[in-house]
Amino acid sequence: MAYAVYSDSLGSAKELEIAVDDFLADPAEETLQQARDAYKAARKPYQQCYTAGSHKNSPELSNQVIFPYTGMLLHDMGEALADFDIDNKPVDGDIPVEFLVTATQWRTTPLWGVGLTHAVDSDATFLHDGRARMLMEAILWHDGEAQTSKDAVLKLNARERALLIGFLNDL
């Protein structure tokens, strides 16, 4: 049953991918309609597959306490982390760039698993635009609402800094 659902889901996902590629190669009313139809056709098996495989429905994994290390909120991180415009200039932090979100507001990334980042991809980098190569570099970019935390880190001695990075790498 699970295999049948998965196989339907995979098949319709492949058809959707082809339809979207066709639309991108030749954007027209007809190819757009075909992509829309493929999307609708792919939704059902995907939902069934998701519901069949989702952790939500595995009793042994539900109601678990997790520590994702994120407030899941947006924070003003200061001008240095502001988004860039198409001319590669930092956008004024007061201007909403996405609905009500301003150019300096970012969601607190879940730090859970951050220590595995380089095990998964040795070239991976940190922060929304990947500008930080190391965890400490990511911390030093914190400003705005997170400035107090950065200042506290700057006061740590070498051993305490190593412990902090060790803690993050253990998450």
Q: Which residues bind ligand HEM (CB under 6 A)?
A: 75, 77, 81, 106-109, 111, 114, 126-128, 135, 138-139, 142, 145-146, 149, 153, 168
Pick the closer one to ligand HEM by CB: 5 or 81. Answer: 81
Pick the closer one to ligand HEM by CB: 56 or 159. Answer: 159
**What is the smallest separation between the CB atom of 90 and ligand HEM, expressed in angstroms?**
13
- Please name the residue that has the structure tokens 């991809």: 121
Q: How many residues are present in the chain?
A: 171
> Which string of DSSP letters, residue by residue, matches 141-154?
T--GGGHHHHHHHH
Pick the closer one to ligand HEM by CB: 40 or 107. Answer: 107
**What is the smallest separation between the CB atom of 169 and ligand HEM, expressed in angstroms?**
10
Radius of gyration of the chain (CA): 22
**What is the smallest separation between the CB atom of 156 and ligand HEM, expressed in angstroms?**
9
**What is the smallest separation between the CB atom of 75 and ligand HEM, expressed in angstroms?**
4
- Please name the residue that has the structure tokens 């930092």: 90
Cα angle 85, 89, 90; round to 5: 85
Cα–Cα distance for residue pair 30/61, rounded to 1 Å: 44
**What is the smallest separation between the CB atom of 5 and ligand HEM, expressed in angstroms?**
33
Pick the closer one to ligand HEM by CB: 49 or 139. Answer: 139
Instruction: For 32-57, give one letter per residue: b (16+ CB within 10 A) or e.
Output: eebbeebeebbeebbebbeeeeeeee
Pick the closer one to ligand HEM by CB: 23 or 126. Answer: 126
